[in-house]
Every structure is written in structure tokens, then in C-alpha cells.
Amino acid sequence: MRTPTTSRRQFLQATGLTVAATSLAGVRARAQPRLPGPPEKKLGFAIVGLGSLSINQILPAFAHCRHARVTALVSGDAAKAKTLATAYGVPASGLYSYDTYDRLKDNPDVDIVYVVLPNSMHPEYTVRAHTAGKHVLCEKPMANTPQECETMIAAATAAGKKLMIGYRLRYEPYNMAMIRMAREQEFGKPKVILCEAGFSIGDPKQWRLNKQLAGGGSLMDIGIYALNAARYLSGEEPVAINAFSYTTPGDVRFADGVEETINFQLRFPSGILANCVSSYGVGLNRFRVHAEKAAFQLEPALSYSDLRMQVIRGGTVELRSLPERNQFALEMDHMAECVKGNTEPRTPGEEGLKDLRAMMAIYEAARTGKTVTLNG
């Protein structure tokens, strides 16, 4: 019987646990904790525009970043900025209004400015950040016109700073896997790509339904995901575009002349054809590639989380799952790593410009009813 004076060894022998204890000791010896290396230097981000994307997605994503931290906030609402600064540990010296924005140049804790404003404001706030000597991550769509995109790219070049567009799906594991499956021809050559992106838009007063602020309707906001996916899944640039749009007459949401639904077809140089849909009238959330031997798809394809992949072959559907990752953390870490390593972002300003040129062609095709050809 065990007494308080029984040694640990005696107790183990008496209870026949010696062997187990010896091997446990071995496990303990092998599982010595390894000390971490020095922390990665995280680059400082200023978030410009504290609307729903910044508050619900971007600011919470910093907790998942390895290379990025939030060091400044820019807002027209000082009280909101102060509340968020307290929540995310941003010092009072990192709070700016749109009027004091240019003073970011004097803040050494800000390396990268993330522009999360209505579309029409992207060019001005990107160029001003570059002028202040900062790198810029700008939300999609890059701007409302290709000419503005060119001005933004020129400003980045003149400043010798990076410009990246926030195409979060280009950093998301399922979309990356779709790209690899298409490019490596896992199921033979891709022939047809179907991309659908849409949601039913609410408040008629929001900036997304103001043509001057948004630059257009569903295509500029959500259809851009379908276009971008058709381009990254094919790995090519479209050479011919057809389009067809429809807006419900009398629907107060579209009174400013922004389109509700727009369908577009893209022909790529290799012969891949893409059918795409963009809508503010119905929910659409799927990218599918039909290759010679199978079809593979994401549905949902563009949500912030819980994407699903299916491979459809003959009569079977195979589900493939990947670890969930925070898309905004991946995107911001990529930007920070590009700055640290002086490498070109995967989605630079030129990528945003290509989408803007294609979107202008889509609008022209819808307006004229004619096929618009591009240089590819």
C-alpha cells in the first residue's frame, strides 16, 4: 500500500507501472519544448475607410497575420475611429481624418496604406498615399476607369512603391487549387468555364447604387469576381467579348442607371470559352471548369469562408476539402512579404487595369449588342 514515504519508483514497481513510466519519460524527453525564434517584424498598415469591410473582415483578420499589424486608422468619423483604435490597440497618434491623411508621411509606423473606400475614391487616396511615400493595397475594383488605373500605376512607379489590388480570392486555398487543377490539366484540357457571382442588393441609398461613386452596377462590385476568375482559371486574357444586360424597370434600387444583371461571354486565345453572370438581383456563387475528363467547381466560390469543392466525373461527385484560412490575413501577409522582400505582388495594379479594360468592353458589348475584340 502506498504511504506518503513511498518513493515514486517503489510505487511504480508495486503497481506494475514501471514500463509505462519509463516509456512516458522517453516521450517527455523527446517532447522538450522548442523555443520560438525571434518574432517576425510585422509591417504597419493604415486602414482607410471604416465601413463594413474594414470593421467586419479586415480589422479582425490582423489577429491571423504573421507579417502585418494595424497601426493607423483613417476615417471621417472620429468617435468610430477611436472606438476601433481602442479595440485593436491603435495609438491616438495613428488616428487620421481625410483632411489630415497626407500626414501619414510622417508616421514611421505605417508602411502600407489599405484603401477601403467607395470605388470612385480609390485613385485619389492611392495616389496621395504613394505621394506620402507609402506602399498601397487598394480594394477592388481598382478604379472606375482604365485611365485612372494607369494614373495609379504611374504614381506607384514614380514613388518607387508597391501597388497591390485586394483580390482576396487569389490568396485563398480553394481558388488556388482550382487554378492548379486547370493549369496542370489534372482532368485534361479545360474547355468551358462558368462563373457566377451575385447577390440581392438592399438599401437603395447606398453608394454601390450611385453610378458616380460605384462606376457601374453589379459588374463593378461583384461580377468582377466572375471576370477575374474566368481570367485566372483560364490563365489567359480574353480576345472577344459578348454581353447582355437587364435591369428591372421601375426598381427604385437601380434608379441611378446602374445595371442589375449582366451576362457576358469571353473567348480566350486557346479556344476556352467562358460564360459569366453578374447580378444585384439574385444570389450567385459558383465557379466551374469543364475539362476533357471531368468538371470541377467551387460552390460557394467567393464567400469569406466555408467554400466547397466538387469534382464531377461520370456519375460521381467527389468532395475535396482544404484547411480553412482567413483570406484577408493571407492577402495582407502577401502584401507585407512583397514589401519586405521587394517582390512584385501576385495581384499588382496591372491586374486591376486588365479587369477594368475587360469591364469597359463588357459594358460596350452590352450597349451596342456587338462583339468587342481585345488584344488579349
**Minimum distance from residue 277 beta carbon to ligand NAD (Å):** 18
Site membership for ligand NAD, residue 117 (CB under 6 A) = yes
Using CB under 6 A, which of the segments 44-52, 142-150, 258-266, 307-315 binds ligand NAD?
A: 44-52
**Minimum distance from residue 47 beta carbon to ligand NAD (Å):** 10
Site membership for ligand NAD, residue 316 (CB under 6 A) = no
Site membership for ligand NAD, residue 207 (CB under 6 A) = yes
Among 32, 52, 316, 375, binds ligand NAD (CB under 6 A): 52
Among 53, 240, 311, 360, binds ligand NAD (CB under 6 A): 53
Site membership for ligand NAD, residue 215 (CB under 6 A) = no
Using CB under 6 A, which of the segments 115-123, 185-193, 196-204, 289-297 binds ligand NAD?
A: 115-123
Site membership for ligand NAD, residue 355 (CB under 6 A) = no
Residues taking part in catalysis:
140, 225
Q: Which of residues 233-272 bind ligand NAD (CB under 6 A)?
A: none
Contact 144, 220 (CB under 8 A): yes
Among 12, 40, 51, 95, binds ligand NAD (CB under 6 A): 51
Cβ proximity to ligand NAD: between 184 and 203 the closer is 203
**Minimum distance from residue 175 beta carbon to ligand NAD (Å):** 12
Cα–Cα distance for residue pair 292/178, rounded to 1 Å: 15
Site membership for ligand NAD, residue 50 (CB under 6 A) = yes
Among 148, 196, 221, 259, binds ligand NAD (CB under 6 A): 221
Site membership for ligand NAD, residue 334 (CB under 6 A) = no
3-state secondary structure the chain: CCCCCCCHHHHHHHCCCHHHHHHHHHHHHHCCCCCCCCCCCCEEEEEECCCHHHHHHHHHHHHHCCCEEEEEEECCCHHHHHHHHHHHCCCHHHEECCCCHHHHHHCCCCCEEEECCCHHHHHHHHHHHHHCCCEEEECCCCCCCHHHHHHHHHHHHHHCCCEEECCHHHHCHHHHHHHHHHHCCECECEEEEEEEEECCCCCCCCHHHCHHHHCCCHHHHHHHHHHHHHHHHHCCCCCEEEEEEECCCCCHHHCCCCCCEEEEEEECCCCCEEEEEEECCCCEEEEEEEECCCEEEECCCCCCCCCCEEEEECCEEEEECCCCCCHHHHHHHHHHHHHHHCCCCCCEHHHHHHHHHHHHHHHHHHHHCCCEECCC
Using CB under 6 A, which of the segments 6-14, 52-60, 271-279, 357-365 binds ligand NAD?
A: 52-60
**Minimum distance from residue 55 beta carbon to ligand NAD (Å):** 8
What angle is formed at CA 333 by the lines to CA 331 and CA 339, rounded to 5 degrees? 110
Site membership for ligand NAD, residue 149 (CB under 6 A) = no
Cα–Cα distance for residue pair 269/150, rounded to 1 Å: 25
Cβ proximity to ligand NAD: between 166 and 190 the closer is 166
Site membership for ligand NAD, residue 166 (CB under 6 A) = yes
Site membership for ligand NAD, residue 329 (CB under 6 A) = no
**Minimum distance from residue 79 beta carbon to ligand NAD (Å):** 12
Contact residues toward ligand NAD (CB under 6 A) are 49-54, 76, 116-119, 139-140, 166, 168, 207, 213, 221
